[in-house]
């Protein structure tokens, strides 16, 4: 069968226009990801914000049905990376339709949304193997944000895995946007670098986060933007240090309780939940 996507694309991706359209998609994806990081934490950033207040069950059902059809196509065409990418998007779309925000503005990623996000993560791993770890950056940015959201309210063990994988996925976005900028085919990778540093601070990869923080600051000459980046990442770094303390404490307690402490919810980062209150139940 053909390796063309399941549906006709809005843009013709053949010839010289292909790279231009890819860059446009990367820019739009980065803008969306960066916008999520400019609202809510101390100083206005909540890395786990997103979703809608009402579950869209009909939308979720349609996305799940589409994902199931795409899984059949993946089985029939295991080397078709376009279909694999569409499968990832469909699972993420289904999960997004099932996410809620409560009256306090806290994201509620319930069991049904988690299942879809987990399936998206599994499809992503297969996609990486198929693409030789050279994924479409617009898929990578979706996966990174999904894994970051999935970490909200998860157990200590799940949090560490999800946040680490979110950083790895975001690295692909940074690499693509940096290369596009080098070729004068896109803007500076400032937003992508800020997002990556944020993920790395939470993943306790502080040295890497500091390196990408410096790169983000060096990539812009706008003093106001540099000030905003500094303020934002200072808050994230502080929160990451506090979360690191909670993780260490849970691991110490796990030695006494047979690992049960690692199954406890870590809380919603960037909110009062993460500062000791019991997290809201989905």
Residue 140 lies in a domain: yes
Task: Note the pLDDT tens digit of each residue in 88-104.
Answer: 999 999 998 888 777 77
Residue 281 lies in a domain: no
pTM of the model: 0.74
Number of domains in the chain: 1
Residue 203 in this model has a pLDDT that exceeds 90:
yes
Residue 106 lies in a domain: yes
Residue 25 in this model has a pLDDT that exceeds 60:
no
Average pLDDT, the chain: 78
Residue 200 lies in a domain: yes
* pLDDT for the residue 82: 94
Residue 262 lies in a domain: yes
Q: Are 9 and 89 in contact (CB under 8 A)?
A: no
| Domain span at 162 | 17-275
Q: Are 42 and 48 in contact (CB under 8 A)?
A: no
The pLDDT-based confidence of 49 (bands split at 50, 70, 90) is: very low
Q: Are 98 and 110 in contact (CB under 8 A)?
A: yes
* pLDDT for the residue 83: 96
- Overall size of the chain counted in residues: 282
Residue 196 lies in a domain: yes
**CATH code, 99:** 1.25.40
Q: Are 164 and 173 in contact (CB under 8 A)?
A: no
Residue 26 lies in a domain: yes
Residue 234 lies in a domain: yes
Task: Note the pLDDT tens digit of each residue in 209-249.
Answer: 999 999 999 999 999 999 999 999 999 999 999 999 988 88
Q: Give phi and psi for 101, each to the nearest 5.
A: -125, 130
Place of tokens 């469909």: 90
């Amino acid at each position: 069968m053909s390796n063309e996507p399941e549906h006709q694309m809005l843009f013709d991706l053949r010839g010289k226009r292909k790279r231009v359209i890819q860059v446009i998609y990367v820019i739009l994806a980065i803008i969306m990801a960066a916008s999520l990081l400019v609202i809510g934490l101390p100083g206005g950033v909540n890395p786990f914000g997103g979703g809608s207040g009402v579950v869209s069950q009909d939308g979720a059902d349609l996305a799940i049905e589409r994902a199931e059809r795409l899984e059949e196509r993946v089985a029939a065409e295991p080397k078709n990376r376009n279909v694999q990418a569409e499968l990832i998007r469909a699972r993420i779309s289904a999960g997004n339709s099932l996410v809620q925000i409560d009256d306090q503005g806290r994201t509620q990623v319930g069991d049904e949304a988690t299942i879809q996000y987990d399936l998206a993560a599994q499809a992503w791993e297969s996609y990486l193997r198929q693409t030789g770890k050279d994924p479409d950056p617009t898929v990578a940015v979706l996966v990174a944000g999904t894994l970051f959201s999935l970490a909200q309210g998860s157990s200590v063990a799940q949090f560490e895995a999800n946040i680490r994988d979110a950083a790895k996925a975001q690295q692909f976005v940074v690499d693509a946007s940096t290369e596009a900028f080098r070729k004068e085919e896109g803007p500076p990778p400032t937003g992508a670098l800020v997002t990556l540093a944020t993920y790395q601070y939470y993943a306790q990869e502080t040295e890497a986060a500091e390196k990408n923080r410096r790169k983000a600051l060096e990539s812009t000459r706008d003093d106001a933007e540099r000030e905003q980046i500094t303020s934002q990442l200072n808050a994230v770094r502080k929160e990451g240090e506090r979360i690191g303390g909670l993780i260490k404490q849970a691991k110490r307690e796990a030695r006494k309780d047979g690992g049960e402490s690692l199954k406890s919810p870590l809380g919603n980062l960037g909110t009062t939940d993460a500062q000791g209150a019991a997290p809201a139940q989905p």
